[in-house]
Amino acid sequence: MENLFRRKGLVVEVKDLVKIYRSRAGEVQALRGVSLRFEPGVATCIMGPSGAGKTTLLNIIGGVDVPTGGTVRVGDILVNQLSERERDRFRLENIGYVFQALNLVPTLTALENVLLPMKMLGLPNAKQRALELLKLVGLEDKANRYPDELSGGEQQRVAIAVALANDPPVILADEPTAELDYENARIVVDILTKLARELGKTVIVSTHDPRVATKMDRIVRLEDGRVVGEFSPLDLEKQVGQAVAGGRVEVSLAEVIKMKLASLDRELELLEERYRRGEISLLELVDRVNKVVATKNALKELLSSIGVGA
């Protein structure tokens, strides 16, 4: 991955961001004064219910949309002061955007879709790089397929390769796992967190998928256009525990169980890591893994008993 990406992340800072959509039906205040700072090397997740303003926030950071009030700074660029043309250029050079609605060009192959942003900047060796990006997302053998010849998960992975084409310092992903099965979601989350942790990019992901949230470094909770809290994934796990123990159900039972399952997966990874580092014996590893797996199976049964697949 190191050879493909050389540019480090940029600080992204939004201040007092307000967005009002006006239509004939009336006004909608999508953002009501949002101030946040995002650091390079950190994968942040914006969590919140549908309508909270997640897409609006990402669109404004990415220069797709303009705020009604407030400022957006990416590195030393004041995005809210750019003209529309300047914003297009800014986005092409600095932002990798994985949109909520898959935005591949249907008449271009996977390879051609990845080539497109590089052609627009006139980068050299574009084809070689595009093939390597497709390899990164595990699709080197499907480079010549058209989007409608790929599964939803594969299309999403092509969309990620497209977003990474110009080695952008800032990566935005809007609900990137919404339509994905477990395996595809895992691949997508893995790439996004690596881009931050290993390559120092600034990564901002919106989601209401706990499989994503528990893997990120930082979780910002957005509700009704306002930031209502910030947690580390560890806090989230504690909350889940309390919600289960105290019957205080803010989130649906299925959501809680899924969060717990995701945190158990993380626990399994940590156990393996600790074993590899020689901190626990093989016997202890097997014992603890068995217990976690038993808990996972019990939770999965519970999920299917309430009519939800894990």
Ligand X SMILES: Nc1ncnc2c1ncn2[C@@H]1O[C@H](COP(=O)(O)OP(=O)(O)O)[C@@H](O)[C@H]1O
Which stretches of the chain bind Mg ion, using CB under 5 A?
A: 54-55
**55: buried, middle or exposed (CB in 10 Å: 19+, 13-18, 0-12)?**
buried
56 sits near ligand X (criterion: CB under 6 A): yes
**Of 14 and 30, CB closest to ligand X:** 30
**Is 51 a binder of ligand X (CB under 6 A)?**
yes
CB of 280 to ligand X, least distance (A): 41
Contact of residue 268 among ligand X, Mg ion, none (CB under 5-8 Å per partner type):
none
CA distance 302 to 192: 30
Closest approach of ligand X to the CB of residue 209, in Å: 13
Q: Does 212 bind ligand X (CB under 6 A)?
A: no
Residue 52: which of Mg ion, ligand X, none does it interact with, CB under 5 to 8 A by kind?
Answer: ligand X
Verify binding: residue 54, ligand X, rule CB under 6 A.
yes
- Binding to ligand X (CB under 6 A) within 3-42 occurs at 21, 23, 28, 30
* 91 part of the interface to ligand X, by CB under 6 A: no
Backbone φ, ψ for residue 60 (5° rounding): -75, -40
User: Minimal distance in Å, beta carbon 115 to ligand X?
Assistant: 29
Residues 6+ apart with CB under 8 A from 293: 268
Stretch that binds ligand X, among 50-58, 77-85, 266-274, 276-284 (CB under 6 A): 50-58
Measured from the CB of residue 31, what is the shortest distance to ligand X in angstroms? 8
DSSP string of 14-70, one letter each residue: EEEEEEEEEETTEEEEEEEEEEEEE-TT-EEEEE--TTSSHHHHHHHHTTSS--SEE
Which tokens belong to 39?
């650091």
Closest to 213 (Cα-Cα) out of 228, 238, 234, 182 = 234
Q: Are 177 and 98 in contact (CB under 8 A)?
A: no
Which of ligand X, Mg ion, none is residue 53 near (CB under 5 to 8 Å by kind)?
A: ligand X
- Report angle CA 177, 181, 186 to the nearest 5 degrees: 65
Residue 37: closest CA among 179, 218, 256:
218
Closest CB to Mg ion among 140 and 255? Answer: 255
90 makes contact, choosing from Mg ion, ligand X, none, with CB < 5 to 8 Å by partner type, with none
Q: Which does 48 bind (CB under 5 to 8 A by kind): Mg ion, ligand X, none?
A: ligand X
The alpha helices in the chain, defined as continuous H runs, are: 54-61, 84-94, 110-121, 126-136, 152-164, 182-197, 210-213, 233-246, 253-276, 282-305
Q: Which is closer to ligand X, CB of 52 or CB of 61?
A: 52
Shortest reach from residue 65's CB to ligand X, in Å: 8
Q: Which does 28 bind (CB under 5 to 8 A by kind): ligand X, Mg ion, none?
A: ligand X
Asked if 53 is part of the footprint of ligand X (rule: CB under 6 A), the reply reads: yes
Nearer to Mg ion, 54 or 211 (CB): 54
Q: How many residues sit close enough to ligand X to count as binding (CB under 6 A)?
A: 12
Among 48, 62, 210, 233, binds ligand X (CB under 6 A): 48
* Total residues belonging to the chain: 310
Q: Which of 182, 307, 184, 177 is nearest to 254 (CA)?
A: 307
Binding site for ligand X (CB under 6 A): 21, 23, 28, 30, 48, 50-56
